[in-house]
């Protein structure tokens, strides 16, 4: 069965850093583009970042550019998100998911990603 397990979230002060991990199982990880998404209370889930199969191209939401870095280790079936200079508005539940629809990292179209896990909570205090 396909499964995504996110980890690495926690409580940090503004300006701090966290490194999130997503371990995938049950699918050929290196054949999928992978994305990170987040959802704050009362808001819709939004795309944060995406990376192509071999890591050759990356994409970021404007709100996190120059602060977050996405990467992957296909040998470990693991996706990462390095989060620096965190802000209170980054507070959300963070999810990873493989792309299952058309296009190249269509991060703004959540319907083209699937196999959602339970997420990992990131809380940034002022």
Tens digit of each residue's pLDDT (9 = 90 or more) over 11-27: 999 999 999 999 999 99
- pLDDT, residue 63, reads 97
| Residue ranges, the chain, pLDDT below 50 | none
Q: What is the pLDDT of residue 108?
A: 94
Q: CA dihedral defined by 116, 74, 86, 59, rounded to 10 degrees? A: -80
Q: What pLDDT does residue 50 have?
A: 98
Q: CA 4 from chain center: how many Å?
A: 11
Distance, CA of 8 to CA of 1 (rounded, Å):
23
């Amino acid at each position: 069965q396909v499964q995504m397990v996110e980890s690495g979230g926690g409580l940090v002060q503004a300006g701090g850093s966290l490194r999130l991990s997503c371990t995938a199982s049950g699918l050929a990880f290196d054949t999928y583009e992978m994305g990170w998404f987040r959802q704050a209370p009362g808001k819709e889930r939004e795309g944060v970042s995406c990376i192509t199969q071999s890591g050759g191209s990356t994409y970021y939401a404007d709100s996190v550019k120059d602060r977050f870095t996405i990467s992957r280790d296909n040998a470990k079936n693991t996706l990462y998100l390095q989060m620096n200079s965190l802000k209170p508005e980054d507070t959300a539940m963070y999810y990873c998911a493989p792309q299952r629809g058309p296009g190249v990292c269509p991060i703004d179209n959540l319907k083209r990603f699937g196999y959602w896990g339970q997420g990992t909570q990131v809380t940034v205090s002022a």
